[in-house]
Amino acid sequence: MRRNIHFCGKKSPDVKFKKDAHMLSEFLGNHTLLYDSECDECNQKFGVYEDHFSKYVGVARTFLCVKGKEKIPKFKSPGGNVVFESSVAEDKGATISVKRTEVLDQSFQIDREKMMQSIHFTKHPYIPLKVYKALLKMALGCVPSAEIDQYRKAFEFVTSDDHDSKLRHLSTVYRYAMPYSFAFTRPTAFLYRKRVPGSPLFTHIFVLSTLNYIYELPIPLYAPDIPFYSGEGINVPMIPPLFENGYPFPSDTIRFSILDLSSVDTVKGEKEVVSFPIPKEVLEGLRSVDPITGEEHIAPFEPSEINGMEFIRGAPLPPHDTNASLITTSS
């Protein structure tokens, strides 16, 4: 896809355009939507942002079986005590295996009253502002060519660290998180544009549906919007999460968060939990098989005694398994 944007404004032969550049990040499952807006230097810089974004989303790509550049990535928690791995068979769906190295740790827990099983682990370190810039880069890459001049400051912000101290306070993103039973296996983006030029709103809002998340990012620094930032402030309309065929799960399981991604300090040791319901009859009727004698035992399920689990995601894989697409619309 040819787009008349160059993130840094440099031209060939000063910079090269040899690498494949993805309009929406490849690690999120976009293998088809490419553009020629990134020189190799920008591409490398954005690769660093994407690395932080991939650490930020943690286990989601593995648990939801989203293929990156070559395959579905394995997730190993720092220190390696919890490992998630996925394999997909075309007709049978996917198997996700979770193993831990130390059975006495607290990584597998069970809440018998709520009948919930959970897996606890630590995420890899990430820098929030770099996560934000990974999203901002995708948003700016989708802006119509005719409007790029108005985003000059935003392009400077995303391509260098020089403006971070002055502009990083703008790094707010709104997010809907869906249960892990749901996945966008390829990313989809919407760009909303305000109708009334004088209204105190961001001109564009970028919405990215990916993994089990929907991110809403008001694109900052559109020149005519800047006067709205002071005084009364600027409004951000919440765009409801949209799915192809209604809600594929109870809508009260969607969690909404306002993410402040302005920090330049590394976040270390952030905990993550993957939880899922476990039916009563399963909880009470689990059988174990002695791998040596083949003898079956009927015993209550005791998570402290297991060192691994396997999950089967039935075929077909989760909905929205269409080609990555960019949809532009007016709000």
Q: Which residues bind Zn ion (CB under 5 A)?
A: 7-8, 39, 42
Does residue 212 contact residue 64 with C-beta atoms inside 8 Å?
yes
Minimum distance, C-beta of residue 187 to Zn ion, in the bound complex (Å): 22
Minimum distance, C-beta of residue 15 to Zn ion, in the bound complex (Å): 6
List of E strands, 10-130: 21-22, 34-35, 75-76, 82-89, 93-100, 108-111, 116-122
Residue 42, H or E segment: helix 40-56
Amino acid at 20: D
Which of 208, 217, 206, 178 is CA-nearest to residue 64?
178
Minimum distance, C-beta of residue 141 to Zn ion, in the bound complex (Å): 12
Which of 162, 159, 173, 156 is CA-nearest to residue 221?
156
Which of 227, 220, 96 is CA-nearest to residue 158?
220
Q: Which DSSP category does 161 fall into?
A: S
| DSSP H helix total and E strand total for the chain | 6, 17
- Residue 7 or 182: the one with the smaller Cβ distance to Zn ion is 7
Minimum distance, C-beta of residue 139 to Zn ion, in the bound complex (Å): 17
- Residue 46 or 176: the one with the smaller Cβ distance to Zn ion is 46
- Residue 42 or 148: the one with the smaller Cβ distance to Zn ion is 42
- Residue 44 or 235: the one with the smaller Cβ distance to Zn ion is 44
Query: What tokens were used for 175?
Result: 């997010």
Paired residues of 190 in beta bridges? 207, 327
Minimum distance, C-beta of residue 14 to Zn ion, in the bound complex (Å): 9
Which of 252, 248, 311 is CA-nearest to residue 97?
311
The residues near 165 (Cβ < 8 Å, ≥ 6 apart) are none
Minimum distance, C-beta of residue 40 to Zn ion, in the bound complex (Å): 8
- Residue 40 or 270: the one with the smaller Cβ distance to Zn ion is 40
- Residue 8 or 191: the one with the smaller Cβ distance to Zn ion is 8
- Residue 6 or 123: the one with the smaller Cβ distance to Zn ion is 6
Minimum distance, C-beta of residue 199 to Zn ion, in the bound complex (Å): 33
Minimum distance, C-beta of residue 44 to Zn ion, in the bound complex (Å): 9
List of E strands, 222-278: 255-260, 271-277
- Residue 37 or 86: the one with the smaller Cβ distance to Zn ion is 37
Does residue 186 contact residue 318 with C-beta atoms inside 8 Å?
no
